[in-house]
Amino acid sequence: MIRAPVKFKPSLPLPRLSARRAWFTGGCELSINISIKPDGDVEFDWLSGKRAAAVVGPPGTGKTSALLRLASSGAFECCGASISLELRPEILYLAFNRSATEDAEARAGDAPIHAATIHAAGARALAADLGAKVSEVLVNLQKAPGGRICGGYELCNGGGCLGVEESIEVLRRCAAKRHGLKYSSDSFAPASGNRLFALLDYAQHVAPATGVKQLLEQLPTPCSQAVSDYLALLRELERHDFTTALVEAERLGLPYVIREGGAALKVRTAFVDEAQDLSPLMWRYLRRALADAKEAVFALDFYQTVYDSLHGADPRYGRELLNAIKSHGGVVVYLERSKRVAGRVAEVAKKVLPNPDPEYMKWKGRADADGDVYVVSPTEMVRLAKEHLAGGRSAFALAPTNADVLWAAAVFLTHGLIPRGLKDMPAAVCRRLRAARILSCARAGLARLGDDAVQPDEVAAKLVGALRHRFQHALLGQPPDALVCRYLDKAVKALKCGRGLLLPAALPVEVPNPPPLYVDTPYTAKGLEADAVFVVDRLSFDVKPSPLALYVALTRSRGDVYIVKAPGKRSWVPPEVYKEAKRL
């Protein structure tokens, strides 16, 4: 068995930055303000002696494209500044999330990049240091009734593994339930146990050495015991989750080595994309991972830093990075023209930015793009969404919280539009889709109500009614219920909400696919785009979302942006946006 040392024996904290705060609702219905003080500053002195450069790009200006052009040609020039590489082979491409690395690999073509998330880089470096495989370092389980892990699982090193992310969820759910804390499998409806372990990740990212100790000292007993049990279980299994692996790689000062065809290659050139998303822990490990690198290029937009509450990302780190690059003689290129955002939308979006940087604010939207900002009602939102979808165009509806996402999804569902999540479908939406499916299939005589373990509700019934109206003029005289049944069965399978029903032979008419309507939060939509964006101005909780989240939402559209005013609810869109927006 490979033993990966996990040590949480912190030294005294060094609070050189202001305290970070996170909120947690405990299992005893108690609101606690958790304050995690950083145990060190984020420093960039490690750039000394390296050829460092940065590409600063507002939304849609082509930051990733600039990095990939550097990878393929070794040079990039724009806006009166240029960057060149001396060492192109074996480029390490790092980013915060997996979707960014996958996108870069897909777009790189023949460019020799090796892409990884920073969490994956830490886990791989730790595995290499231990002479082990990554699968022997990260926790990975398989189902085993009566198993020693939570009564139903064992470690897995072969086939049939759950995967690291699902295995982490299993252990956390087990630890939470052991101490009476609820744990939800629906990311759109997190319970107290989910929030507790999100706080654990946050504490380690903000203060790698002392964060766990600080957190345990502030939590009520059931919560602190659940966290301690989870960490003890990882130590007992001699495995890590993604965060503890990164903490350990940083503590040991492990450099990253590219593995190719059995050879170990030192990183000479590094690209760091979406650098504004990095946490203090990630920045601290980066100096270790890139110890052998001779040159580094960063791409960032510090006004898209929306992961502050997730793991302590902060716009000031991006600014300090740029200052460090300039002080060491490096080049900073500010991209000035968005390839996505319409000019009028860009000017409205810039008005929500706090303390705007003059150099950054020079960027402009597309002069050739038709797009503006409008204020609409929820009813108009549905009508406009139908028009966009009927024309083969995609649409996002972005809301500030998951509760408001579900509200917007229900509005679309009751009007016959089937929304989907940008990543995971909310369980509440899936249940209603399945309930509507079984209701329409039972009416058509193609299935029985007991064929799916869901109960139709008012929203499901309204969805069936709306789809019946939509299909009332179907060809060949087919009953609308049969078409609605097939359409909803197709939607359930396509949106991964469950299995299909055992229906009779297919209808002799074409059943359309669910339209490309996505309903989610700006945090999930960051880096993505649609033909039209609906910004749902509805805030279910007494919280104040970051203006940067609204900035991200406003700049996802290739065309028009619609501010959807939901009467009687709290607002997250400021008056200056309404002042600039037009009325339809």
Tens digits of per-residue pLDDT, 57-100?
Answer: 999 999 999 998 998 888 999 888 899 988 766 788 999 888 88
* Longest CA pairwise span in the chain (Å): 77
State both tokens at 291.
């110890």
Size of the chain, expressed as the number of residues it contains: 584
Distance (Å, whole) CA 106 – CA 102: 6
**Tokens at 191, concatenated:** 């319970």
- Could you tell me the two tokens for 343? 């000019």
Helix residue ranges, H only, 416-473? 427-443, 458-470
| Predicted pLDDT at 87 | 73
Q: What is the pLDDT of residue 363?
A: 93
pLDDT at 368: 84
pLDDT at residue 468, rounded to an integer: 92
Residues ≥6 apart with Cβ < 8 Å to 377: 564, 565
Residue 563: other Cβ atoms inside 10 A: 24
pLDDT of residue 281: 96
Q: Is 51 exposed, middle or buried (0-12, 13-18, 19+ CB in 10 A)?
A: buried
pLDDT at position 278 is 95
Q: Work out whether the CA dihedral 204, 206, 211, 215 comes out positive or negative.
A: negative
Residue 258's pLDDT is 83
Distance CA 346, CA 337 (A): 10
Tokens in use for 545?
């979302």
pLDDT of 264 reads 72
The pLDDT of residue 419: 93
- Using one digit for the tens of pLDDT, what is the confidence trace for 93-139? 999 888 888 888 888 777 778 889 999 999 999 999 999 988 899 99
Long-range pairs, 176-185, Cβ under 8 A, ≥24: 176/226, 178/226, 178/229, 179/27, 179/222, 179/223, 179/225, 179/226, 179/229, 180/27, 180/222, 181/26, 181/27, 181/222, 181/223, 181/226, 182/27, 185/427
The confidence score (pLDDT) of residue 400 equals 94
Q: Which residue positions in the chain have pLDDT lower than 50?
A: 1-31
Neighbours of 150 (CB within 10 A): 15
Model pLDDT, residue 376: 97
- Radius of gyration for the chain, computed over Cα atoms and rounded to the nearest angstrom: 25
- Phi, psi of 177, deg, nearest 5: -65, -30
Q: Which two tokens stand for residue 10?
A: 């912190």
Sequence-distant (6+) residues with CB within 8 A of 263 are none
Please report the pLDDT score of residue 109 as a whole number: 77
pLDDT in the model for residue 26: 34
Q: What is the pLDDT of residue 298?
A: 97
CA dihedral defined by 83, 85, 88, 93, rounded to 10 degrees? -50
C-alpha distances in Å from residue 375, one per residue of 208, 379, 381, 520, 534: 45, 12, 10, 19, 10
